[in-house]
Amino acid sequence: MLAFIRSSSLVLPTRTTPKTFPTLIFLFNRTMSSSAYDVPFPIIIDETLGERLQPNEAELTTKIADTIESVIHKEYREPGTARRDVHAKATGILKAHFKVHENIPPQFQSGIFIPGKSYDAIIRLSNASGNPHQEDGHADGRGFAMKLLNVQGPKLLESDKNATTQDFVFINHPFFFTNSTESYLKVFQKNASDSALQKLTIPFTLGLKGTVNAAVLGGGKIANPLQVQYYSAVPYQLGLGESRLAVKFSIKPVSPIKDELPNHPEHEYLHQAIKTTLEKGEVQFKFMIQPKIGLNMEVEDSMTEWSEEESPFLEVATVTIPKQDVDSTEIQALGERLSFNPWHSLVEHRPLGAINRTRKVVYERISRVRDQINEVPREEPTQA
């Protein structure tokens, strides 16, 4: 059970249960077949925070990675040509600064959220499509991936235990199109098929809610990526031990100013909007946390937005993107080399739920494949 206390008129959770050890399920960390780039499936499932393992989840996740990997090898054969399978087109690669507020609630003071702590950061803004040549004016989802630098402490990803970076991955909607690893696999397989009929059956795989969510996720247009609110959409752990929480993150522009959509948008108008904005001055975002405080906020349900009325987002940090040259050759080259994975993280921010468990394996595997095709070393940045 959870009880609630008020702090500065904001509802925050505090535990009233007896002190007990967390309920965890340990899975066998098996070696998966079919690729030299396999990544271990997450071996800890936290039932206390609401995680539930799906049938054959590890095997299905491997098949998803297999499917995407085969598509990448089919589309990209020459060194230096391989691109991301989604979010392939960056609209901006930006240097930024992340500063934690001095007065954040005690419940949130864990991991990177040390009162007054600052980090340099690199941000990659993107269109969601896997087509790197798609016009910015095309209806699509949008991404905001942020990598904090000089974050000390061991990381969850086995291949980057000693890296000094921490990743956060956001999209411009607070939900996803599926909760099921099995349906996730079927969608990828059908989308990768040469059969138009297979693609037409994707709505039957997703069901009504999933189809509606997918349409919303991929159906929007924006005027300026620096004027959009972004969401983690899926939950994360915050903290360790019995005081740990399940939370979601969001990042929202401080300024209420909104540009108008252009009547006749140019091919790269979103990049141009970022450039124009940052030529004038800096942009700030609020970094916010939404704690799970109700039974309706399910960790394994990524298709349903958590109610902000029941649990408001609470501001804990500010992200400042200073005035800068967004066309710098150096920063653009860095952007293409960067890999983002929510499991590239301190243990205090462990990703939760089936979609995040799938992301660990798929994101890391595909990132390795992309670097292998492009014949570049895998390394995390130490400075922006």
Tens-digit pLDDT profile for residues 174-222:
999 999 999 999 998 998 888 899 999 999 999 999 999 999 999 999 9
Q: What pLDDT tens digit does each residue of the chain (384 aa) get?
A: 233 222 222 223 333 333 333 444 434 333 333 444 578 898 789 999 999 999 999 999 999 999 999 889 888 888 888 888 899 999 999 999 999 999 999 999 999 999 999 999 999 999 999 999 999 999 999 999 999 999 999 999 998 899 999 999 999 999 999 999 999 999 989 988 888 999 999 999 999 999 999 999 999 999 999 999 999 999 999 999 999 999 999 999 999 999 999 988 899 999 999 999 999 999 999 999 999 997 789 999 999 999 999 999 999 999 999 999 999 888 888 888 899 999 999 999 999 999 999 999 999 999 999 999 988 888 888 887
DSSP string computed for 223-255: S-GGG--EE--S-EEESSGGG-EEEEEEEEESS
How confident is the model at residue 37, as a pLDDT? 57
**The pair of three-digit structure tokens given for residue 325, joined into one six-digit string:** 């040259």
Q: How far apart are CA 352 and CA 4, in angstroms?
A: 23
Pull the structure tokens for residue 355: 């979609």
pLDDT tens digits, 253-287: 999 999 999 988 899 999 999 999 999 999 999 99
What φ, ψ does residue 87 adopt, rounded to 5°?
50, 45
What is the 8-class DSSP label of residue 357?
Answer: H
Q: Is the pTM of this model over 0.75?
A: yes
> Which residue ranges form the domains of the chain, and what is each CATH number?
2-374 (2.40.180.10)
Q: CB neighbours of 168 closer than 8 A, spacing ≥ 6? A: 145, 146, 148, 232, 249, 251, 342
**CA–CA separation, 164 vs 383, rounded Å?**
10
Quick one: 312 exposed, middle or buried, by C-beta within 10 A (0-12, 13-18, 19+)? middle
How far apart are the C-alpha atoms of 238 and 250, rounded to whole Å?
14
Query: For position 96, what pLDDT does the model report?
Result: 98
What residues contact residue 46 under an 8 Å CB cut-off, 6+ apart? 22, 23, 24, 237, 350, 352
Residues 6+ apart with CB under 8 A from 196: none
Interhelix angle for 57-75 vs 354-374, to 10°? 30
- In which element (H, E) is residue 60 found? helix 57-75
Whole-number pLDDT of residue 33: 39
Please tell me the predicted confidence (pLDDT) of residue 3: 30
In the chain the beta strands, taken as DSSP E runs, fall at 2-7, 10-15, 24-26, 44-46, 89-100, 118-127, 142-149, 165-171, 230-231, 236-238, 245-253, 283-291, 314-321
Beta-carbon count within 10 A of 209 CB: 14
Instruction: Output the pLDDT for position 294.
Output: 79
pLDDT of residue 237: 98
| CA 203, 208, 213, 219 torsion-angle sign | positive
d(CA 140, CA 118): 33
